[in-house]
Amino acid sequence: MIDKPYKWTSFDVISKLRSHIRGRLHLRKLKVGHAGTLDPLATGLVIVCTGKFTKRINEFQDDIKEYTGTICLGATTPSFDLEKEIDATFDISHLDEDMIRDAALGFIGDMDQMPPQFSAKKVNGKRAYEYARKNQEIELQTRKITISEFEITGIQLPEVDFRIVCTKGTYVRAIARDFGEALNCGGHLTVLRRTRNGLLKVEDAQTLEEIMNEISTWADLEEKNEVIHE
């Protein structure tokens, strides 16, 4: 389990780890995969599987996810997060704490969610963000998701802190968009952290550097043992 750093893609993590393991353990080939993409601007839990454990990727992907983060109300962006600049602003003087907490309750349950245009969802063999970055309009399909918990953990307008528990495939950026729309003021995601995947928690994860150091230490010990037994 890796605590993904800010601005790294999930693929960046896999690529770096695969290269390190192959180099230190002198492996020509190695299967490495992750159990669920995490946006570059998000941090937190990424489950990495290697070798025969890659067969368990679907199992981990199907588990519920927990996230914490911050939504900024009163402004929208095309990507629903900080990847793109603010494109519209709205008045938030009508908001109060009760309205915000009531709006969150309205998201609990099953729903059809429209993915962001700036997403990794595949359309005709290409990622949706590839079209979006070229200003090409594409038609995305909604997908069914379930939100079992949506807790407002702090309010300091225009920022609202939250904790959310949801099924796989949920775009929390899209929740931020829809949350802003529900409050008639727009909104976008400014902070996102995956804190849990099923029973696995981010506090039990390691940084990429820590894991790489452990692999290096283990490889050094193996090399010393080989020399001793020659």
CB 167 within 8 A of CB 64: yes
Distance, first Cα to last Cα, the chain: 35
DSSP codes joined into one string, 148-188: EEEEEEEEETTEEEEEEEE-TT--HHHHHHHHHHHTTS-EE
Phi, psi angle pair for 201, to nearest 5°:
-120, 150
Residue in 188, 177, 158, 186 with CA at minimum distance from that of residue 89: 186
Catalytic residue among 39, 62, 204, 220: 39
Residue 39 a catalytic site member: yes
Helix axes 172-182, 97-105, angle to 10 degrees: 130
**What are the structure tokens assigned to 105, written together?**
């309750």
Residue type, 228: I
Neighbours of 221 (CB within 10 A): 10
Catalytic residue numbers?
A: 39
